[in-house]
Structure 1
Amino acid sequence: MQPQKQGYLYVLITMCIWGGFTLAARLSASWGISAWDLTALRFLLAFAILMPILIYKKDTAFLWKKEPFILAMLGGVIYCLSAYSAFHYAPAAHAAIFLNGCIPLCTAAAAYVLFQQAFDRHTWISLIIMLASIGAMSLLLYMQTGQAFGLGDLLFFISAVWWGIFTVLLRQWKLSAWHAMSGVAIWSAVIYVPVYLLFLPKHLSEPAPVHLIAQVLFHGIFVVIIATLTYIEAIKRLGAFKAGSIVTLAPFIAAILAVPLLHEPLSGAMVFGLIGMGIGALQPWRWLMHQDPLQRQIDRQKQQPD
């Protein structure tokens, strides 16, 4: 299989898992699985899988650096707790808008605050589109229900802020995909699981065992391990912009699928917000003008004389 086709295959796998994350997290809330429980079990399972591999490979020295620990606290523990908690208060469509839709904007803002990376023209256009979409959607929601936003929306946006900071630090520190994934999973388990066992409420007896096992397997293996590796491999073959743009579609597709699968309502205001935030996040005008770096390399080789 050609590298480009491999890249699209990895993108497809990542989209299925990321879209499934939105649906599965919403299902976990309806099944009575708390954010405290799911976060602990997710990282505990990932720790049990990854730590023996690192010990066998004698590749544990990187864990003692500050970077994996900080990334684990931001993109692991705090992000998971806020995101999983939000699904108890808001449906999947709200996650697509206030979490996934806001992640590119929060990432750009974090890059500016932490490393003084100025917004480019495309980011300003996205900012205007997103703010206009959220403003129009909130007005429509207020006219329909008397309330524009809720606690779930706030938690989703806070989650987007944490993930934006995590993304900028990960890019700045240039950790490999394997070290970043392993470090986040292991340090999250080491720090959070003891706190969970000693101090936090537990509701493991409330959900059905089959529901709890399914959620832990999906979030601990597919989300933490597989999706991270397939996403990085997709970036290697398609480039960060094209891979990231396509994968960003997954939560928006999941929001539409949640209507028939989870019987969640989708009002006209939410449809308007999904379209606007999707356009702002994907930046389709830039995607259409963007040429695949692999294709550019092929074109340059064709131009060289024999």
Structure 2
Amino acid sequence: MPSHRDLPRPESGSPRLRGFLWAGLAVAIFAGWLVVTRFSVTRTLNVWDLTALRYGIGAILLAPVLLRRLPPRAWRNGFVFAALWGAPFAILVAFGVQMTTAGRAAAVTPTLMPVFAGLLGWGLLREQPGRIRLAGYGAIAAGLCGLVLTAGSAQGSPSLFGLGLLVLAAVMWASYTLILRRSGLTPIQSAALICFWSAVIFVPVYIGLGLSHLRHAPAAEIAIQSFYQGVLMSTVALISFNRGVALLGASAGAAMIALVPVAASLLAIVFLREIPDMAEGISIALIVGGVLLAARAPRQQAR
């Protein structure tokens, strides 16, 4: 049963503000996730370790949510959610990060996701985005091209297969955002079901095939990855993103995620003293402008 926080409010401004705050929290966590993932998959831990930590710990933390009685339809929806934004998604992104860079992954998957969400909603659900939102998608795509080309000139030719994995992950993520809001599940229920199904299916395979490298990794690295993957990504980020979509709508909530490469660039400036050049700055500005246009509420919408 949804709590009082999940019930619609009479005013229109407050829910959208809360939606932007929830989506902003997800953006911050996603930006750091790509960097943290890249750190480990190029050293001791592998893609399978990070996936097991993410959903194994997440399933344990969110297990109390599933102790409440859920209808069979909720479990079926949760299985679909896990297929689209659970272990398969995390594996695709992790391999994409390993084969390219964290910067390219941040520029591709989160940036293309809102564009695919808008186009899929338009083609499958007849949700016409309107000229302003289409202009936003165009600006996001242009900014993405600028970031990829800039990264390519500075870091060498990108792996086409790695980029393909990241694009496929963006399509899966976009599909998830479209069906989430129509599922009738609360944000925390959706997150719990994604972790449950991912853990039930993936962790036995991970253990049975002996894919673990955990015994070779330093305890500090395992602790950091357990917290980031298992707590921040599988619980906090999942719930905050789902909450943002519930309050803003699929298209606007998805558009906010295009700010991940922008957040990653800001983190690099603060912590790594990596100042973007002129071309990167223009690309980031295009993405920010595109998000502002794509996240605008339709005139007929009253949320």
Classify the TM-score, shorter chain. Answer: 0.7 to 0.9
Match of 2:48 in 1: 36
Match of 1:154 in 2: 164
Match of 2:132 in 1: 122
1:283 and 2:288 equivalent? no
Structure 1: how far apart are the matches of 2:214 and 2:207? 12
- Equivalent position amino acid for 2:38 in 1: R
Match of 1:19 in 2: 31
Shift, 1:76, TM fit? 0.2
Per-residue CA distance 1:98-136 (angstroms, 9 max, x = gap)? 011111011123324543444432343134334444555
Match of 2:284 among 266, 274, 282: 274
- Equivalent position amino acid for 1:94 in 2: R
Structure 1 residues 245 and 127, CA gap change in structure 2 (3 angstroms): closer
Match of 1:107 among 106, 114, 117: 117
Shift, 1:235, TM fit? 6.1
Structure 1 residues 176 and 96, CA gap change in structure 2 (3 angstroms): same
Return 248-257 or 210-219, whichever deviates more: 248-257
Match of 2:175 in 1: 165
Match of 1:83 in 2: 93
What secondary structure does 2:199 align onto?
helix
Structure 1: how far apart are the matches of 2:186 and 2:120? 21
Match of 1:184 in 2: 194
- Equivalent position amino acid for 1:198 in 2: G
What secondary structure does 2:94 align onto?
helix
Return 151-160 or 111-120, whichever deviates more: 111-120
Contact 2:74 2:185 in 1 (8 A): no
1:94 and 2:92 equivalent? no
Contact 1:32 1:207 in 2 (8 A): yes
Structure 2: how far apart are the matches of 1:148 and 1:175? 39
- Name the Cα RMSD after superposition: 3.7
Identity of aligned residues (%): 22
TM-score when scaled to structure 2?
0.76
Structure 1 residues 25 and 144, CA gap change in structure 2 (3 angstroms): closer
- Equivalent position amino acid for 1:66 in 2: R
**How do 1:170-249 residues align onto structure 2 when only pairs under 5 Å count?**
170-199=180-209, 201-233=211-243, 239-240=248-249, 248-249=258-259
Aligned length: 289
Contact 1:18 1:250 in 2 (8 A): yes
Please tell me whether Structure 1 or Structure 2 has the larger radius of gyration of its CA atoms. 1
Structure 1 residues 126 and 227, CA gap change in structure 2 (3 angstroms): same
Structure 1 residues 143 and 67, CA gap change in structure 2 (3 angstroms): closer
- Equivalent position amino acid for 1:283 in 2: L
- Equivalent position amino acid for 1:88 in 2: Q
Structure 1: how far apart are the matches of 2:101 and 2:81? 27
Structure 2: how far apart are the matches of 1:232 and 1:63? 18
Shift, 1:217, TM fit? 2.0
Contact 1:72 1:185 in 2 (8 A): yes
Structure 1 residues 196 and 285, CA gap change in structure 2 (3 angstroms): closer
Structure 2: how far apart are the matches of 1:108 and 1:200? 40
Match of 2:62 among 50, 54, 60: 50
Contact 1:93 1:252 in 2 (8 A): no
What secondary structure does 2:224 align onto?
helix
TM-score when scaled to structure 1?
0.76
Structure 1 residues 202 and 20, CA gap change in structure 2 (3 angstroms): same
Structure 1 residues 194 and 149, CA gap change in structure 2 (3 angstroms): closer
Match of 1:302 in 2: none
Structure 1: how far apart are the matches of 2:158 and 2:278? 14
Match of 1:256 in 2: 266
- Equivalent position amino acid for 1:107 in 2: A
Structure 1: how far apart are the matches of 2:223 and 2:112? 31
